[in-house]
Amino acid sequence: MPADRTTKLVSMRFGNEAAKTITGYEAAGGYSSLRKALAMRPDDITAEVKASNLRGRGGAGFATGVKWGFVPKDAKQVHLVCNADESEPGTCKDRELIYWDPHLLIEGMIVSAHALRATHNYIYIRGEMMREYAVLKKAVDEAYQRGYLGKNILGTGLEIHLTVHRGAGAYICGEETALLNSLEGLRGQPRLKPPFPAVKGLFGNPTIVNNVETLMNVPFIVERGGAWFAELGMGRSGGTRMLCVSGHVEKPGVFELPIGITFRQLIDEVCGGVWKGRKVKAVIPGGVSMPPLDDSELDVPIEFDALQTDERIKPVMVTPTQQFDLGGGRALRTMAGSGGVVVLDDQCDIPKAVWRIMKFFAHESCGQCTPCREGTGWLEKVARRVAEGRGKPNDVDLLAQIAHGIAGNTICALGDAAAWPMLGFLTKYRAEFEAAVNRAKVVAA
């Protein structure tokens, strides 16, 4: 049965203080999925995850079971790493998930580690999440005391360890290879891929990196089966989705919802509509890295494939006549990203909003590749002068050229993450940038 708006999995214990302790979690049925998983063969768990159509909730929406299948069968040492670095602007679900249900994450990790035959596993938590770190650390200690973690878990002879690793401030550490470098005690700079982490990752061993929400869904899949989970969703995307709504709506919040809900339903029916009785100008669909949607594009479901391919969404352009593609002629429309939906109302100053987004990327570029290091700084500088009414006649085209020069030419996707929204906003709100530049000319005259 497809999920409805009352279906709650990963958020079912939100607001339940008692369930944050191990006794409360067990009383609410916790760790029963782990007992079931321990009686299963590891490959059978992976098969259920494949059948579930679970897709990564960290940004790329990659099929989780397929990714797990990339680990070489003869690997001697495998690691599972949870990405809890949540820092994509607009995204605020992992922090809530950890705070309210730390044991669900731990259970998800133990089940997944068993499936992957991984003994030494890590949760990389963002340094600024001090409150959540304390909650998680306590929960991990409890799980060790109760025998869910350690050298011989629940008397099965299996060894599974889990260590919480605290970051120290750096958005780029959310990128999985930068995260691995940071875990290894190096500067958090991304690595060239391939090799992909599933083949050569942490300490040179095959490593699976998964998002918090992704891993929290695994116990439900083991408990009720992959087919059940797949049916909750739509198309090739199983389960429910945590959506974080911020910006100009009456009731912002973090909600677990059916994966097929549309932006229009989300804004009007879940979030009480646009604030102050206004209308939508733009919606950032999944964190600031993703190209925006305009008001005419909001009846599309917030589902991974739909957002990439639905023809109701206009393709992103480099110039008014040249379409941007991801290689192989695939047009970029947009992506579901990390679930961070940011609503911009009809009075919003788009060039200013875009400048703030570019400022973020310029600040967070790790500086390894020239197109990203120079390009993000340049985008910020030009976007700022346009937004402040000091734009030069050629600036709108210049912004597009710089962005086009970055996309696809860098070690990690941070470069793309800056270029795509720039090109997306220029495609859909070009007139506003031009008006800002013309305003500047008037001032100059």
Ligand X SMILES: Cc1cc2nc3c(=O)[nH]c(=O)nc-3n(C[C@H](O)[C@H](O)[C@H](O)COP(=O)(O)O)c2cc1C
> Which residues make up the interface to ligand X (CB under 6 A)?
56-60, 62, 83, 85-88, 172, 174-176, 209-211, 214, 412-414, 417
Residue 365 contact, options another protein, ligand X, ligand SF4, none, Cβ 5-8 Å cut-off depending on partner type: ligand SF4
Task: Name residues contacting ligand SF4, limited to 367-386 (CB under 6 A).
Answer: 367-369, 372-373
Residue 294's DSSP bridge partners are 282
Q: Which residue is nearest to ligand SF4 (CB)?
A: 372
The residues near 80 (Cβ < 8 Å, ≥ 6 apart) are 109, 112, 113, 116, 118, 121, 122, 207, 208, 210
Q: What amino acid occupies position 22?
A: I
Shortest reach from residue 420's CB to ligand X, in Å: 11
Shortest reach from residue 39's CB to ligand X, in Å: 25
Q: What ranges make up the beta strands (E) of 224-350?
A: 240-247, 253-258, 280-284, 293-294, 340-345
* Cα–Cα distance for residue pair 291/304, rounded to 1 Å: 14
Residue 316 contact, options another protein, ligand SF4, ligand X, none, Cβ 5-8 Å cut-off depending on partner type: none
Shortest reach from residue 288's CB to ligand SF4, in Å: 15
Q: Is 407 in the site for ligand SF4 (CB under 6 A)?
A: no
Shortest reach from residue 377's CB to another protein, in Å: 15
Residue 415 contact, options ligand X, another protein, ligand SF4, none, Cβ 5-8 Å cut-off depending on partner type: ligand SF4
Residue with tokens 């600024």: 128
**Between residues 36 and 356, which has the closer beta carbon with respect to another protein?**
356
Q: Is 411 in the site for ligand SF4 (CB under 6 A)?
A: yes
| Contact (CB, 8 A) for 47 and 53 | no
| Contact (CB, 8 A) for 337 and 88 | yes
Shortest reach from residue 391's CB to another protein, in Å: 20
The residues near 195 (Cβ < 8 Å, ≥ 6 apart) are none
Shortest reach from residue 90's CB to ligand SF4, in Å: 19
Shortest reach from residue 414's CB to ligand SF4, in Å: 4
**Between residues 127 and 389, which has the closer beta carbon with respect to ligand SF4?**
127
**Between residues 149 and 366, which has the closer beta carbon with respect to ligand SF4?**
366
Q: Which part of the chain contacts ligand SF4 (CB under 6 A), choosing from 5-13, 161-169, 197-205, 407-415?
A: 407-415
Q: Is 264 in the site for ligand SF4 (CB under 6 A)?
A: no
Question: How long is the chain?
Answer: 445
Residue 369 contact, options ligand X, another protein, ligand SF4, none, Cβ 5-8 Å cut-off depending on partner type: ligand SF4
**Between residues 182 and 210, which has the closer beta carbon with respect to ligand X?**
210
* Cα–Cα distance for residue pair 68/235, rounded to 1 Å: 21
**Between residues 18 and 130, which has the closer beta carbon with respect to another protein?**
130
- Whose CA is closest to 317, among 388, 420, 208? 420
- Of 91, 265, 334, 365, which lies in the binding site for ligand SF4, with binding defined by CB under 6 A? 365
In terms of Cβ atoms closer than 10 Å to its own Cβ (0-12, 13-18, 19+), residue 136 is buried
Q: What amino acid occupies position 71?
A: V
Task: Name residues contacting ligand SF4, limited to 121-180 (CB under 6 A).
Answer: 172
Q: What is the DSSP string of 17-83?
A: GGGGSHHHHHHTTTTHHHHHHHTS-HHHHHHHHHHTT-B-TTTT--BHHHHHHTS-TT-S--EEEEE
In terms of Cβ atoms closer than 10 Å to its own Cβ (0-12, 13-18, 19+), residue 95 is buried
Q: Which part of the chain contacts ligand SF4 (CB under 6 A), choosing from 26-34, 83-91, 121-129, 362-370?
A: 362-370
Shortest reach from residue 276's CB to another protein, in Å: 12
Residue 411 contact, options ligand X, ligand SF4, another protein, none, Cβ 5-8 Å cut-off depending on partner type: ligand SF4
* Cα–Cα distance for residue pair 236/281, rounded to 1 Å: 30
Binding site for another protein (CB under 8 A): 77, 86-92, 94-95, 119-120, 126-131, 133-134, 161, 163, 165-171, 182-188, 202-203, 244-248, 252-254, 284, 288, 340, 342, 344, 348, 353, 356-357, 360, 363-364
Residue 368 contact, options ligand SF4, ligand X, another protein, none, Cβ 5-8 Å cut-off depending on partner type: ligand SF4
Rg (CA), the chain: 22
In terms of Cβ atoms closer than 10 Å to its own Cβ (0-12, 13-18, 19+), residue 307 is buried
CA atoms within 13 A on the CB side of 303: 23
| Token output for 416 | 């793309």
Query: Rule CB under 6 A: which residues touch ligand SF4?
Result: 172, 190, 365-369, 372-373, 410-412, 414-415
